[in-house]
Structure 1
Amino acid sequence: MEKKSKVLKKLFFSTLYLSTFTFGGGYVIVTLMKNKFVDELHWIDEEEMLDLVAIAQSSPGAIAVNGAIVVGYKLAGLPGVLLSILGAILPPMIILSAISFFYDAFRSNLIVGTMLKGMQSGVAAVIASVVFDMGSNVVKEKDWLNIAIMAASFLISYLFDINVVLIIIAAAIIGAVRTLLRERKGAKA
């Protein structure tokens, strides 16, 4: 039981830390969660992390909270979910509460505005890193259908004004049909 309590404690402080020092939204936290839970703590393997991120992305709500939910559930069940959610939402709640008191001062401060503009470059770099890491894993598998889906999703999203949710649904349908076909082939063999 002590081991589970250590996992819960580490899970809470990991999500608290990630949420506190992550700027740029949910896609930035995906890379940091991978670094923490896959590379550093070795609680989850990389393929499993990709599956968990896919679940988090397809669920309604903030990806940082959804990611914390799926990782927390995977590692420690319902207690893991509750503590990882708490760790993920406490920093933004505290920061936003403090900012709301000083909103007028922040809004008109040139230094704060410039600093936030500069952070956008860092956010773009982190998102590019996530895309590269996840995309390179798809390419390494040499599964041409997955590569085609990835490339088509990017091109459709970039070139046309199609809602990303529709692209995700289409990719999910293709994946579900493909999985069903593979299972049927496996059952016949």
Structure 2
Amino acid sequence: MLEKDTQKFRLRLWKIFISTLYLSAFTFGGGYVIVTLMKKKFVDEYHWIEEDEMLDLVAIAQSSPGAIAVNGAIVVGYKLAGIPGTLVAILGTILPPFVIISVISICYNAFRSNFFVAQMLSGMQAGVGAVIASVTYDMGAPIVKEKDPMSLVILLGAFLAACILEINVIYIVIVCGLLGVARTLLAKRRAGK
């Protein structure tokens, strides 16, 4: 029985590594795109994480210092397999960019002036915008469907603060985190009465 559990754990670590390696190798546009693809892989395909929990993990990844792709790999890897999962997910996430950047730095002069590379990167920018918009919709739709007025006010307030008032996202995340803590404490207090 113990041997069977060890094999299942190793298989899960292997799947985490291959998934993060694949996502990192074929993702262009930064951490928000890879977090979206992690959601599709680990929530929608493998069903290892619930969607609400993935939203919480993304919030943790966004509020932590450092690259969001690595932070996302850390929290997802830890959730799925503890410290070994974290290490495997980090390795899978940082290996492709490391190799790609190493190759590009060697061939920098050839890439810098290549018309086709420049056009390919321009096309990728448009695709990245579409992926981010899709993820935003996928993650925001359940909040709207919940029809919780306070969640909708926080959602709209955060959007207005970021897009219209151009308030630094760090402050928005901190305020939303504090609002979440306050709501949780109030709900516990009401449940205790």
TM-score under structure 1 length normalisation: 0.97
Map Cα deviations across residues 40-89 of structure 1 (whole Å, 9 max, x no partner): 11111111111111111111111111111111111111100000000000
Kindly state the Cα deviation for residue 162 of structure 1 after the two structures are TM-superposed: 1.4
Q: Distance in 1 between matches of 2:98 and 2:22?
A: 14
* 2:152 paired with 1:114: no
Partner SS, residue 38 of structure 2: helix
Q: Alignment length, in residue pairs?
A: 188
Question: 1:23 pairs with 11, 25, 28, which one?
Answer: 28
Q: 1:86 aligns with which of 86, 91, 94?
A: 91
Out of 179, 184, 188, the position equivalent to 2:189 is 184
Matched, 1:73 2:78: yes
Match of 1:100 among 83, 99, 105: 105
> Which of 4, 7, 16 is the equivalent residue of 1:11?
16
Within-5 A mapping of 1:36-185: 36-185=41-190
More moved, 161-170 vs 83-92 = 161-170
Segments of 5+ residues of structure 1 without an aligned counterpart are none
For 1:157 and 1:35, the matched residues in 2 are separated by 26
User: Structure 2: any 5+ residue segments left out of the alignment?
Assistant: 1-5
Q: Distance in 2 between matches of 1:144 and 1:103?
A: 52
Q: Partner of 1:96: helix, strand, or coil?
A: helix
TM-score normalized by structure 2? 0.95
